[in-house]
Amino acid sequence: MAGIKYRTSGNKYTEAMSNRKRIAIIGVGLIGGSIALQLHEKKLSSKLIGVESSSEHAEQALEYELVDEVLELDEAIAEAEVIVLAIPVNKMVHLLPQIMDKVTDQIVMDMGSTKASVIEVLKDHPNRGRFVATHPMWGTEYSGPKSAVRGAFEGKAVIICNPDESDPDALDWVKKMYAKIGMRVVEMEAKAHDLHVAYVSHISHITSFALANTVLEKEKVESAIFEIASAGFESTVRLAKSNPDMWVPIFLQNKDNIIDVLTEHIDQLTRFKESIQGNDPGRLQALIADANKIRRIIK
């Protein structure tokens, strides 16, 4: 967005708001836009600054009043007290060290879906303490500023990784911010985080993408899908509408864990296939009964 600066008019900030923070959000899409809404509504921000590589998204972020202004990255870093990265993880690992080179006492946090690679790229950085690695466990299949959701994070978990590597004041502010927007904080080591999200999030998306491709390949009359698809099918395949620009980097950055999960998942699918192929009701019953044990975790 070189050479472009967008500003809303008439925004005034007073000393009465000095306990709030000037917050820059890099990537005002689904996640960045949704956090912007809650930062404003919970009175955590005195000013919301957007940074966008897409001029269309910059204009939408202002049109939907997600941010007060959109600035170039260097301007936003200089003006902000808190910097939030809500961009694809492949872009984050390249951009984050450049941002950390320019910060002084600002708090920097990310909202990415993988953590080990992000933390690794900063492990020897002199400003490492100003960074807090986070992953709010929320998302939808939609993308862009117009997809931002009010109250999106309320009642959800947020994972903060390697908290002992962050400065106490930075960690404290991030924890309090998440608590104020209604999230419960879970602390976890980055590699453990990436393993767990491979099981509870990443495999769900791969399964949905694969199911959608299977149906589209086998069901040549697409109108029939819309005629007979039930709520069960719609909920299972919903994630297949997710943006590939976001999910391709996630899958590749968490490759080892995802391959492990996929291997187990393919093995489970093979057991179902063999049971049906072999006309074995007893084995099918056992497989489904085992799956029913998920009720202990998900009500």
Q: What percent of the chain has pLDDT over 90?
A: 78
User: Does residue 14 carry a pLDDT above 70?
Assistant: no
- The lowest-confidence range among 92-106, 219-233, 239-253, 260-274 is 219-233
In degrees rounded to 5, what are phi and psi of residue 8? -85, 160
Structure tokens at 263: 């291997």
> Residue 231 has what pLDDT?
64
Residue in this structure with the two tokens 């993988």, named with its chain if needed: 114
> Residue 216 has what pLDDT?
81
> Residue 10 has what pLDDT?
45
Helix (H) or strand (E) holding 135: strand 131-136
> Residue 223 has what pLDDT?
62
Tens of pLDDT, residue by residue over 161-190, are 999 999 999 999 999 999 999 999 999 999
DSSP letters spanning 32-72: HHHHHHHHHHTT-EEEEEEE-S-HHHHHHHHHTTS-SEE--
User: Does residue 142 carry a pLDDT above 90?
Assistant: no
> If we measure between CA atoms, which residue out of 87, 4, 74, 8 comes closest to residue 40?
8
The mean pLDDT value of the chain amounts to 90
Q: 299 versus 293: which is more confidently predicted?
A: 293
Phi-psi region of 144 (alpha: psi -120 to 50; beta: other; left: phi over 0): left
Q: 5 versus 45: which is more confidently predicted?
A: 45
User: Does residue 298 carry a pLDDT above 80?
Assistant: no
Tens of pLDDT, residue by residue over 208-238, are 999 888 888 776 666 666 666 666 677 778 8
Q: What percent of the chain has pLDDT over 70?
A: 89
**Length in residues, the chain:** 299
Nearby residues of 126 by Cβ (< 8 Å), 6 or more positions away: none
DSSP letters spanning 221-283: -HHHHHHH--HHHHHHHGGGGS-HHHHHHHHHHTHHHHHHHHHHHHHHHHHHHHHHHTT-HHH
Mean pLDDT of 106-120: 96
Contact 261, 199 (CB under 8 A): yes
> Residue 15 has what pLDDT?
37
The dihedral through the CA atoms of 153, 159, 164, 118 has a sign that is: negative
Mean pLDDT of 195-213: 92
